[in-house]
Amino acid sequence: MTQQYTGVTVTTQANVYFDGKCVSHSITLADGTKKSVGVVLPATLTFNTGAPEIMECVAGSCEYKLKGSDAWVKSAAGSKFSVPGNSSFEIRVTEPYHYICHFG
């Protein structure tokens, strides 16, 4: 599980979605790789993707359901799930879900 990044550029203005239920900050690594780190507060939300994403849970937990699936899958600290580009996923959170979104 990713604990920290060094040598990054952080966008100080937060990305705030769903009336504050999801807040993240964009980071850029030294090699130009872009990620976001944030937290989703208790809610059930739907996120759309442009590029493929990997959601890495660093604390808390969630359940997610990929577009086209009827199955909710649990994701807890130390686990990841992949979301295709130009798609969507639903996320159900009952405790703060801290994450890193890896864009790819």
Q: Is residue 1 part of a domain?
A: no
Strand intervals (E) in the chain? 9-10, 15-17, 22-28, 34-40, 43-48, 53-59, 61-66, 73-76, 80-83, 88-93, 97-103
Q: How confident is the model at residue 3 (pLDDT cuts 50, 70, 90)?
A: very high
The count of structural domains within the chain is 1
pLDDT in tens, 53-79: 999 999 999 999 999 999 999 999 999
Residues in the chain, total: 104
Specify if 71 maps to a domain.
yes
Contact (CB, 8 A) for 85 and 101: no
Quote the domain boundaries for residue 23: 9-103
Q: What is the pTM of this model?
A: 0.95
CATH assignment of the domain containing 17: 2.60.120.10
* pLDDT for the residue numbered 104: 77
